[in-house]
Structure 1
Amino acid sequence: MSHLTIIVATDQQGGIGINNTLPWTLPEDLAHFKRLTTGHPILMGRKTFDSIGRPLPNRRNIVITRNAQWRHEGVETAASLEEAIALLDGAEGYVIGGAEIYKQALPLTQRVIITEIGQTFDCDAFFPAIEHAVWQETARVSQVSEKSGLPYAFVTLQRKA
């Protein structure tokens, strides 16, 4: 069975984006994302892919879309999250968004890696609420961005047995 990890950055209200873009600048989070996902399959919705604009290098890019005609060079497509998971064929995959894909993936995920940004932004997309009865925090590293001055924490949650 494939192992799923969600990776996400949220503001203090669980916001993850606005108008299909990130509302903050946090280079440390982008480096963290790249470090963790490089060499692994990444699963995302089509709108998330469109916001990135290209396949991410050194990763197997799997885009979930209801549009059977949608194609992009360097990308595999799946009609559903379940179909995307089946494509993993037992490998560990990272779910990278967006909001609807996170909502569908959370019950199927063993680990969540969150960059908690210590500020609130104007967002129109949100990460689903984390049920503390289901998840246990196993790691937290708090820092302040040298470039933007934003406080943030890299947090790892593991599903309780």
Structure 2
Amino acid sequence: MIAAVADNGVIGDGNRLLWHLRTDLQRFRGLTQGRPLLMGRKTYDSIGRPLPGRAIVVLTRDVAFAPEGVAVAHDLADALRRAEAAAERLGADTVMVAGGGEIYALTLHLAARLHLTRVHAAPDGDTVFPTFDPCDFRETLREEHLAGPHDDHAFTFIDYVRRG
């Protein structure tokens, strides 16, 4: 999983991000390049296009949803099959789950790794990252960053690997 999460757990509002962090966007690109991204329709709509260098799998209940260049699935099992097949085609070692809130909640129990950006802000929002027990994971990276000229807030990169 890869997500930017405010200190209060919020990840978005009205199908949009609540901050701009160029440093986080660069990290997102680096971690997801050459890998399949599994996301929900609202997340895909907020991006508005397939991301270059990645296979996109969108999980949606909307049977009419069929954007060009995107694999569409209507249940989690099919979405995971499509994403794993894309990983094999790309020679990728993992499938990345990229949101939104409902998709994170559906797949958190499957996540072997979490790549989180903790945004040091507490905005109001309608979408949150699901809570998880930190005892289930081992922290493998923590990098503190001050807000820079292209970053709205200070933030911390935190990576976790599932124990066991």
Cross-structure match for 2:76: 81
Aligned partner of 2:153: which letter? L
Cα deviations across residues 84-138 of structure 1 (Å, max 9, x unaligned)?
1111138311100000000011001100000001111121100001202211111
Aligned partner of 1:89: which letter? A
2:157 aligns with one of 137, 154, 157: 154
Separation of aligned partners in 1, 2:76 and 2:9: 22
Whether the 8 Å contact between 1:113 and 1:156 is mirrored in structure 2 is yes
2:21 aligns with one of 26, 32, 39: 26
2:47 aligns with one of 24, 49, 52: 52
Whether the 8 Å contact between 1:112 and 1:157 is mirrored in structure 2 is yes
Separation of aligned partners in 1, 2:66 and 2:141: 38
Separation of aligned partners in 2, 1:130 and 1:118: 19
User: CA, structure 1 residues 47+90, in 2 after alignment: closer, same or farther (shift >3 Å)?
Assistant: closer
Q: Which has the higher strand share?
A: 1
SS at match of 1:116: strand
1:61 aligns with 2:56: yes
Q: Which has the higher helix share?
A: 2
1:122 aligns with 2:127: no
Separation of aligned partners in 2, 1:134 and 1:43: 22
Cross-structure match for 1:94: 96
Cross-structure match for 1:106: 108
Structure 1: state its 5+ residue gaps: 1-5
How many positions carry a matched residue from both structures?
A: 156
Cross-structure match for 1:3: none
After TM superposition, give the deviation of residue 69 of structure 1 in Å: 2.3
Structure 2: state its 5+ residue gaps: 88-93
**TM-score (ref. length: structure 1):** 0.92
SS at match of 2:159: strand
SS at match of 1:133: helix
The percent of aligned pairs where both chains have the same amino acid is: 38
User: CA, structure 1 residues 53+90, in 2 after alignment: closer, same or farther (shift >3 Å)?
Assistant: closer
Whether the 8 Å contact between 2:19 and 2:152 is mirrored in structure 1 is no
